[in-house]
Structure 1
């Protein structure tokens, strides 16, 4: 082929067509984000090879800039994660979820150190470990970029059709019975959606979902219902699901209530922005007909929460994630050992 970069553009076009077909069918798929990421990679590869074909000296300068930028950017991101992790521990406590930014930042710095050592010392075992780490880090970075990018896109384009229910997912209560700011943000977004539907002539029901935790005095659903009625929502427009203890149960138990109250219903599921896309994925798996809407989250809390959601998505697709990870580790060891 006279212009080899055209094959990459063709591949990007084909992947884009598959993405558009799947996206029009159901927006709530993580695979959509992966397809969009692959399309982007093919476009970038084609552009880079095309640039090399016509302007090779410029390609070398761009390559050097990309390597330097990627290295500096990685160090900056690692430093940010470590700093944010320390703040999370001081502010929210030392739970595993709050440790994620710190652990991720340290892991990035260790990987950079391993790569630097492999470049400096001639050692087959060290080179194999560094190459395997590079392959696995590249895979996880690609998936994380797909997750972030598609989650943002999903929130921008998710359907806003008429609904019969506005479902609010619960979160932990403060002092056992008080709605904290994180949960209040969800309830305020739900109120706005409820009022918008009312203004359009609908009669939606606000369904609050959340059971009673071991450290809580009342079910989360009861505290949420009180919050809404205090702000003018009639009692008859609020339904409580007060048995669930996880997002999966929120959706399962809420689905059973909605099917009984209004067969053939549609709903919108309200949670925080960092959680919205995974909630949509889980809703699809649970057979709940509706999209997810996100409410704002404090900036300092967002990195930890987003990392937690990403890990949860990897677990949800654990067979694929573990299989690809294992293949890349083996390929990296072989490439590094024989390199």
Structure 2
């Protein structure tokens, strides 16, 4: 297609820029077209119920929620173009429009906030490489934002620039979509309401310092204690604690023993505390704890308690281990949350890295190959 070519139909108008990408798109909605969004929305809701509630697949649930939200916004906006609306709906549409218009500013503020948070993490938690993650991501986001709005001015300078711009757009949209889906999946756990009829309360350990409970670990333990006491109050059923965590290279005693001592200091009897002190990561937490639980009561009911940022990934490992426990989040310090949440996002991506790599490669091929063909033909 050449510069300025149009494609017209009764439904839409597409304008192809010299760079080879769609410069503007105008879609003429009517009420019937807008209602078409209901069909895929209903299908998505059915899939969501099956995948999230029946098969315990939170990532799939988060992706479906993201797609559903996009369909809702598109359907609402399309219906608004051709229908008389009440003032309430116009207010809602105004908010939606404001979100789209404020997108670049939100990205700018987010990148600055991440850089500030990264500096705070380093000052509070030390100079470990993982503590620099918010700072690095903030810089990358700021650079991507600058490139996204400056590259269009140089489209005619070099035919390679449109390719760079398209690649940048793919990266931003792909990982942005996955991050929003991950956030949606994590948020779903706040709506989980475990019954107060549990046999076991599994507490996942984390780093201890000088054999003492850290504030992060204390929040997990206190959340587990609160659930135990609430269950005793509601149903009178006495659950057993399972404390899970091995000894790290920089730790003098296992995390599980430190957690056991903490529970003993709160007045709980040692017969009500099961110890798993050989695990080195979350996957082993779930596998080794399940072995202990199954010896006492196969197919037991239970929950696992961990920090709010960690619940989603822990639930994936629990499912893989065959442990049908509900995740209960413990609160996390505000300054610590962004860094931890980003690490969890990367961790979840790495669990299915081959699948995500294949999808990303397919998107790149479908987008870049036509542009390379047009470039070779001298049409760009």
Q: Name the TM-score, length of structure 1 as normaliser.
A: 0.92
Q: 1:35 aligns with which of 64, 88, 106?
A: 64
Name the CA distance, whole Å, in 2 between partners of 1:102 and 1:49: 39
Contact 2:52 2:60 in 1 (8 A): no
Contact 2:122 2:131 in 1 (8 A): yes
Deviations 1:123-161 (A, max 9, x none): 331221122211221121122112112211222224335
Name the CA distance, whole Å, in 1 between partners of 2:370 and 2:152: 14
Name the CA distance, whole Å, in 2 between partners of 1:329 and 1:96: 30
Name the CA distance, whole Å, in 2 between partners of 1:149 and 1:227: 34
Q: What corresponds to 1:183 in structure 2?
A: 217
Q: 1:143 aligns with which of 163, 178, 181?
A: 178
- Shift in alpha-carbon separation, 1:135–1:51, aligned structure 2, 3 A: farther
Q: 1:116 aligns with which of 132, 140, 149?
A: 149
> Is residue 195 of structure 1 aligned with residue 229 of structure 2?
yes
Name the CA distance, whole Å, in 1 between partners of 2:367 and 2:126: 37
- Shift in alpha-carbon separation, 1:42–1:251, aligned structure 2, 3 A: same
- SS for the counterpart of 2:248 is coil
Contact 1:166 1:269 in 2 (8 A): yes
Structure 1 ranges of 4+ moved more than 6 A:
60-64
Deviation at 1:16, TM superposition (A): 1.4
Alignment of 1:314-329 (within 5 A): 314-329=349-364
Q: What corresponds to 1:259 in structure 2?
A: 294
Q: What corresponds to 1:310 in structure 2?
A: 345
Over the aligned positions, Cα root-mean-square deviation in angstroms equals: 2.3
Which has more radius of gyration?
A: 2
260-269 or 24-33, which deviates more: 24-33
Q: What corresponds to 1:73 in structure 2?
A: 106
- Shift in alpha-carbon separation, 1:50–1:244, aligned structure 2, 3 A: same
Contact 1:128 1:334 in 2 (8 A): no
Name the CA distance, whole Å, in 1 between partners of 2:252 and 2:186: 34
Deviations 1:160-204 (A, max 9, x none): 3521110110111112x1110000000001111122233322221
Deviation at 1:334, TM superposition (A): 4.3
- Point out where structure 1 has 5 or more consecutive residues left out of the alignment: none
- Shift in alpha-carbon separation, 1:67–1:332, aligned structure 2, 3 A: farther
Contact 2:303 2:327 in 1 (8 A): yes
Name the CA distance, whole Å, in 2 between partners of 1:35 and 1:280: 18
Q: 1:243 aligns with which of 269, 278, 299?
A: 278
Deviation at 1:331, TM superposition (A): 3.5
> Is residue 4 of structure 1 aligned with residue 33 of structure 2?
yes
Deviations 1:44-81 (A, max 9, x none): 111222233458xx9x9999855531111111111111
Deviation at 1:18, TM superposition (A): 1.5
Q: What corresponds to 1:227 in structure 2?
A: 262
> Is residue 211 of structure 1 aligned with residue 241 of structure 2?
no
What is the count of residue pairs matched by the alignment?
Answer: 335
Name the CA distance, whole Å, in 2 between partners of 1:61 and 1:205: 52
Q: What corresponds to 1:163 in structure 2?
A: 198
Q: What corresponds to 2:20 in structure 1?
A: none
- Shift in alpha-carbon separation, 1:244–1:29, aligned structure 2, 3 A: same
- Per residue, is there more helix in 1 or in 2? 1
Q: What corresponds to 2:15 in structure 1?
A: none
- SS for the counterpart of 1:240 is strand
Deviations 1:89-125 (A, max 9, x none): 1211232321221121111112112212321102331
- Shift in alpha-carbon separation, 1:7–1:164, aligned structure 2, 3 A: same
Name the CA distance, whole Å, in 1 between partners of 2:213 and 2:310: 18
Name the CA distance, whole Å, in 2 between partners of 1:324 and 1:87: 35
- Shift in alpha-carbon separation, 1:335–1:114, aligned structure 2, 3 A: farther
- SS for the counterpart of 1:300 is coil
Alignment of 1:284-299 (within 5 A): 284-299=319-334
